[in-house]
Amino acid sequence: MAATANSVQLYSVDTTTSVATLIASYAPGETIPEYRQYAGGCITSTTDDPPTVSAVCKLAFAPAITANDLVIPGNLGALKLGLMSIQFEDKVDPTNADTYMNRAIALLDSELKELDMGEQPAVLVSPNFGAGSVLNVR
């Protein structure tokens, strides 16, 4: 399958009413999209209004493919500190330039550590059972 240069929207169309419903939006270059899915508990509503669900999410990294792709900085604080470091470097102040660049790197490292911690799956293993009710052989 060839990669696309622009985003692609996928719609479901009700053939009886001709109503189109957006069901997916693929980033440029995606040929086999894979997204994480999360299941929540049962949601019930005590009113006639449908329930509302709020989620705090982070976007996955999507590489820039074409010249007109948007590049959105992920950490504005680190970008600001890096730009301040460049300003000190231009003023021939290497001490402050290093200080601000090190602060920017520390900010990015702390963000990376946070992301790495979120990637570690929680696995519960019982020492007494290997597969459901089949006892481990020691």
Domain annotation covers residue 58 = no
- The answer to whether residue 90 is domain-embedded is yes
Integer Cα distance of 47 and 45 in angstroms: 5
| Band of residue 47 on the pLDDT scale cut at 50, 70, 90 | confident
The C-alpha atoms of residue 9 and residue 53 are separated, in whole angstroms, by 23
Residue 65: exposure state from Cβ atoms within 10 A (0-12, 13-18, ≥19)? middle
Q: Is residue 105 part of a domain?
A: yes
pLDDT band at 30 (very low <50, low <70, confident <90, very high): confident
Contact of 24 with 37, CB cutoff 8 Å: no
Q: Could you tell me the two tokens for 135?
A: 């006892």
Is 10 domain-assigned? no
Measured CA to CA, the distance from residue 138 to residue 128 in angstroms comes to 10
Q: Determine the pLDDT at residue 93.
A: 94
Q: Return d(Cα 32, Cα 26) in angstroms, integer.
A: 9
Is 100 inside any structural domain?
Answer: yes
Q: What is the pLDDT of residue 106?
A: 92
Q: How many CB atoms lie within 10 A of CB 88?
A: 17
Q: pLDDT band at residue 124, thresholds of 50, 70 and 90?
A: low
In a domain, 82, yes or no: yes
Range of the domain at 100: 75-117
The answer to whether position 85 is within a domain reads yes
Q: For the chain, how many structural domains are there in total?
A: 1
